[in-house]
Structure 1
Amino acid sequence: MQCDFMEKEVMIPGEYLLSATITIPKQEQAVIPGILMIPGTGNVDRDENFTFLSMNILKDLSQVMVQEGFVTLRYDKRGVGKSGGSFYRASFWDLVEDAKAALDFLRAQPYVDRKRIIALGHSEGAIIAAALYGKVAVDGMILLCGFAHSLEEIIERRKNRILQDLDHIKGIKGLLLRLLKAKAFLDWQYRATKKKVMKDKRTVIRIKGKRLNVQWLREHFQYNVMTDLKKVNCPTLVLGGSADVQAASSQVEEIAQAIKGPVESHVIHNLSHILRKDPMAGSVLGGILDYWQQAEKPIDPEVIQILTEWLKRFKE
């Protein structure tokens, strides 16, 4: 389906100005439904790209949604790209407030149907979308590779999965890891880092020379996403992948069961966290390192099909 559209760069007012792209389909309707696109974890820009890895997740999804007759708004996170503020000093609740500022901006556009606005979140963006709904209700939700648990539980599970993966390394490498007691060291390092994060009251600290936003971590650890998911009373699409080594696919059903409104859920076979197929995914470290290869491929067609069918039903 071909669709003419117009893209323009805008600045979203808030605590700091957020640089964003609004994409508008050329249609005859007076007002058009809108989609706020909330980026995921890390210092990613409006397209969900890092400086070292281009994934273009939100950029590519935006093209799909505009073709279906939706206005989309996607923004650089605080302190990233052309946005103001500091990424390393942005707390979890700062990111939620930035999403709210973006939602207010989208609702204020004269060509946007204020009664038909969807919040789309990918990865951490799905958690932020739930927290946003807890403050300001929207008319639809799309949660991609999201989480049903706190970041503390997620990191704990990922750590345990990495420790399990170490047991399956064979040959001389596996022997050396066992002789060096790598599992015990990694477990100790995790517990020591967590203790430091929870005790230190500063916003930013350095661990092994790298800056870490401990306020963001503490607020994530303390936030229970299920509390706000249980408030969601609008049409919602929940989608994940069986090869997602960051957000376990079992969480798709947990999220879906928590939501009050009409919900549709999908777990796509062999789909990774970055919405591409990864049939070789087996370990946490291997799956994440494979993102560079996966990013060269387009978003999985099954994801696109599910999204477009759901969006068509939302507009009915």
Structure 2
Amino acid sequence: MIEQIVQVYSQTKLEGTLTYPDQTKEKYPALLIIPGTGTLNRDGNDPKGKLELHLYKQLATFFSNLGFITLRYDKRGVGKSEGEHIRTGFWDLVDDAEVALDYLHTQSKIDSDTIFVLGHSEGSTLAPALYARKPFAGMILLAGGGEKLEEALNRQRRLALEQLQQSKGFKGKLIKWLHVIEKDEKKNKELMEKIKASNTDFIRIQGFFKFPAKWMREHLAYDLFEDLKKVKCPVLAITGDKDFQADASKLERLPEYVQGPVDIHTIEDMDHSMKEYKKPIDVSNFKKDYIANANKDIHPEAQVLLKKWVGYQLEGEVAHGK
């Protein structure tokens, strides 16, 4: 496997890593990896070391071993890419994915007819928006799909609040005495109203914390389902049943909208980072659990499904090493 640092240019310079399986063939299929929400870098790690998943590097290695050239990149204001992450909107992210896709089309070793796009988490929403602009050969949606950001955030909040309500002993009594649930609902409603009324890239919460208002406004306005109707390529969507950040049941919406063939799978004991997770979901400790599982490989069942699907799409060439 060969890795090469590359730069692509959107409204700002983005840096990424191009991974080759080798350079013995004339042409290769390619895969673009679109990352999820937040400031994780091209490898799936927080540049400050606070959260390391290794997921995007693992995916790049996995697909490179299947014979793909892969491209993963740092988002604006993350890692070695220029720009400000806090000022980056939904459509800026789509623009950046588009220039990354364009870059793959310029590479002489890549077969432009077999370029696939993989979106993880928020990337599963960005991928249909990208396809609506520039169709590609196949779409892989991991840890998300068929669900708008607002739905996902509301569910995450609800699960967190339900877990709080189930607290026992003095903590449970304190939550009730202080009306924590009711206050949270009120604060969230006020925040959403403030975001919708804003016209700046970010707003300040409690006079201090910066929140990416432009990003949220554009997500709220985006019609995911209209773009899903435009998707004519094959789609593979996989989410784990231990993934509290994405709702696996929403994958069932995809065949209602997507025009191409759709394969959907819910994997038992798989979390949002695509790793095996045997414990009950604990919303309050999810980051600790992600870190504890970081060095695990991608869930074995997910690997089987991914290999089988891409092999089928490429008529056995990838799966059988031809």
TM beyond 0.5 = yes
SS of the equivalent of 2:100 reads helix
Q: In structure 1, what is the Cα distance between the partners aligned to 2:133 and 2:280?
A: 37
Q: In structure 1, what is the Cα distance between the partners aligned to 2:30 and 2:62?
A: 13
**1:205-229, Cα deviation, whole Å (9 max, x unpaired):** 1213221110000000111212111
Give the root-mean-square deviation of aligned CA atoms. 1.4
Residue 79 of structure 1, CA deviation: 1.0
Q: In structure 2, what is the equivalent of residue 242 of structure 1? A: 241
**1:93-138, Cα deviation, whole Å (9 max, x unpaired):** 0000000000000110000000110010000011111110011101
SS of the equivalent of 1:245 reads coil
Q: In structure 1, what is the Cα distance between the partners aligned to 2:120 and 2:150?
A: 18
SS of the equivalent of 1:290 reads helix
- Give the counterpart of 2:16 among 20, 42, 46: 20
TM-score w.r.t. the length of structure 1 is: 0.95
Aligned pairs for 1:264-279 (under 5 A) are 264-279=263-278
Q: In structure 1, what is the equivalent of residue 320 of structure 2? A: none
Q: Tell me which moved more, 152-161 or 93-102.
A: 152-161
Q: In structure 2, what is the equivalent of residue 105 of structure 1? A: 103
TM-score w.r.t. the length of structure 2 is: 0.93
Q: In structure 1, what is the Cα distance between the partners aligned to 2:218 and 2:16?
A: 26
Q: Tell me which moved more, 280-289 or 123-132.
A: 280-289
Q: Tell me which moved more, 34-43 or 228-237.
A: 228-237
Shift in CA distance, 215/247, structure 1 to aligned 2, threshold 3 Å: same
Name the % identity: 38
Q: In structure 1, what is the Cα distance between the partners aligned to 2:249 and 2:285?
A: 20
Q: Which AA in structure 1 matches 2:93?
A: L
Matched, 1:292 2:288: no
Q: In structure 2, what is the equivalent of residue 7 of structure 1? A: 3
Q: In structure 2, what is the equivalent of residue 135 of structure 1? A: 133
Q: In structure 2, what is the Cα distance between the partners aligned to 1:196 and 1:150?
A: 20
Q: In structure 1, what is the equivalent of residue 161 of structure 2? A: 163
Q: Which AA in structure 2 matches 1:251?
A: K
Aligned pairs for 1:36-75 (under 5 A) are 36-50=32-46, 51=48, 52-75=50-73
Contact conserved, 2:137 with 2:233, CA < 8 A, in 1?
yes
**1:9-63, Cα deviation, whole Å (9 max, x unpaired):** 0101221111010011225431111001101100121112113111111100111
Q: In structure 1, what is the equivalent of residue 319 of structure 2? A: none
Q: 5+ residue gaps in structure 1?
A: none
Residue 243 of structure 1, CA deviation: 0.8
Q: In structure 2, what is the equivalent of residue 124 of structure 1? A: 122
Q: In structure 1, what is the equivalent of residue 303 of structure 2? A: 304
Aligned pairs for 1:105-254 (under 5 A) are 105-208=103-206, 209-254=208-253
Aligned pairs for 1:86-105 (under 5 A) are 86-105=84-103
Q: In structure 1, what is the Cα distance between the partners aligned to 2:281 and 2:121?
A: 20
Q: In structure 1, what is the Cα distance between the partners aligned to 2:292 and 2:43?
A: 18
- Give the counterpart of 2:30 among 23, 31, 34: 34
Q: Which AA in structure 1 matches 2:18?
A: I
Q: In structure 1, what is the Cα distance between the partners aligned to 2:254 and 2:163?
A: 27
Number of residue pairs the alignment of both structures matches: 312
Q: 5+ residue gaps in structure 2?
A: 316-322
